[in-house]
Amino acid sequence: MTFLELVQKRYSVRAYTDRPVEDEKLAYILEAARMAPTGSNRQAFQLVVVHTEGRGAEMKRLYGQDWFADAPIVICACAAPSYGLNVGIVVDHIILAATERGLGTCWIGAFDRDAAREILGVPEDKAPIIMMTLGYAADEPRTKKRKDLDDLVRYGHW
């Protein structure tokens, strides 16, 4: 699979089977996160990996959609607030590595940050920046809707 095929294959999975994620696949994905570039190579992020089994009520408080709690794993990427950009590339590594391993993911920005801080024990000086689900898809990819490159790219000047 080429890189372009990989990014075309990835889509936001919003329905999950109850098949668990293999430990080797989780380790592979977390290694991809560890290899992500970060400013001055500080790696100033923490990933809170949650196996959701038995924690459905807590997951519901984080993000109210049933499919979120159905995902066997939820990961919360945390950093000091000014390090949010670093977290973006780390999460992208996770999501693309997961896609390559046949797993589904969805970025979740609209989660309850106060609940995440409390439930996941995120310390005061760090912020829960973004969450993602991880598991085997129970839905199908949709046709990707994207703007044309002409709308997104300028050459030489705006």
Q: Does 94 bind ligand FMN (CB under 6 A)?
A: no
Phi, psi of 89 (to 5 degrees): -70, -35
- The least distance separating ligand FMN from the CB of residue 55, rounded to whole angstroms, comes to 19
Nearer to ligand FMN, 27 or 56 (CB): 56
**Between the CA of residue 147 and those of 72, 122, 143, 144, 152, what are the distances in Å?**
33, 37, 13, 10, 7
x/- track of binding to ligand FMN for residues 3-42 (CB under 6 A): --------xx-x----------------------------
From 36, 89, 101, 107, residue interacting with ligand FMN (rule: CB under 6 A): 107
Question: In 3-state terms, what secondary structure has residue 107?
Answer: strand
| Minimum separation from the CB atom of position 143 to ligand FMN (A) | 10
Positive or negative torsion for Cα 31, 83, 123, 107:
negative
Identify which range of 30-38, 43-51, 72-80, 102-110 contacts ligand FMN by CB under 6 A: 102-110
Nearest to 49 by CA among 25, 76, 14, 80: 76
Identity at 114, one-letter amino acid code: D
The phi and psi torsions of 106 (rounded to 5 degrees) equal -150, 130
Minimum Å gap between C-beta 96 and ligand FMN is 12
Q: Does the footprint of ligand FMN cover residue 110 (CB under 6 A)?
A: yes
- CB 130 → ligand FMN: shortest distance, Å? 6
Judged by CB, which is closer to ligand FMN: 3, or 158?
3
What tokens were used for 133? 């689900």
